[in-house]
Amino acid sequence: MAYALPLLKEPEGAPEEPEPPSGLPEPDHRILRDGDFWRRVPAYTHVSRADFLDHLWQAKNSLTRPEKLLDVLRGVADADFVADLAQGLMSAPMALRLSPYVLSLIDWNDPEHDPLRRQFLPLASSQRPDHPCVGLDSLGERHDEAVPGLVHRYPDKVLLLSLDTCPVYCRFCTRSYAIGPDNGGVEKVSLKVSETRWEAAFQYIKAHPAIEDVVVSGGDTYQLKPEQLRTIGMRLLDIPHVRRMRFATKGLAVMPMKVLSDQAWFNALCDVHASGRKRRKDVVVHTHFNHPNEITAITEEALGRLFEAGVTVRNQAVLQRGVNDDPATMRRLLRRLSYVNVHPYYVYVHDLVKGVEDLRTSVATAEALEKEMRGSTAGFNTPTFVVDAPGGGGKRDVHSYEHYDRVTGVSVYTAPVVKAGQFFCYVDPLDSLPADGRARWADPNEHREILREALIAAGAGAGAVREFEAADAAHSAHA
Range 195-223 burial, b when 16+ CB lie within 10 A, else e: eebbebbbebbbeeeebbbbbbbbbbbbb
Arithmetic mean of pLDDT, 450-469: 90
Outline where 279-353 has alpha helix (H). 297-308, 327-339
- Domain residue ranges in the chain: 34-126, 142-182+189-399, 401-479
pLDDT at position 140 over 90: no
Of 288, 315, 467, 286, nearest to 391 (Cα)? 467
Q: Residue 450's pLDDT is what? A: 96
Check if the beta carbon of residue 288 is closer than 8 Å to that of residue 246. no
Of 271, 263, 265, 237, nearest to 249 (Cα)? 265
Give the model's confidence band at 6: pLDDT under 50 very low, under 70 low, under 90 confident, else very high. very low
Backbone angles phi, psi at 124, to 5 degrees: -60, -35
Q: Residue 271's pLDDT is what? A: 98
How do beta strands 419-427 and 410-415 pair?
A: antiparallel
Q: Residue 91's pLDDT is what? A: 83
How do beta strands 403-405 and 394-397 pair?
A: unpaired
User: Rounded to whole angstroms, how far apart are CA atoms 346 and 350?
Assistant: 12
**DSSP-assigned letters across all residues of 197-239:** HHHHHHHHHHT-TT--EEEEESS-GGGS-HHHHHHHHHHHHTS
pTM above 0.75, yes or no: yes
Check if the beta carbon of residue 142 is closer than 8 Å to that of residue 195. no
User: Rounded to whole angstroms, how far apart are CA atoms 277 and 287?
Assistant: 20
Give pLDDT tens digits for 304-346: 999 999 999 999 999 999 999 999 999 999 999 999 999 999 9
Identify how many contiguous H helices and E strands the chain contains and give both numbers: 17, 13
CATH of the domain spanning 142-182+189-399, picked from 2.40.50.840, 3.40.190.10, 3.30.365.10, 3.20.20.70: 3.20.20.70
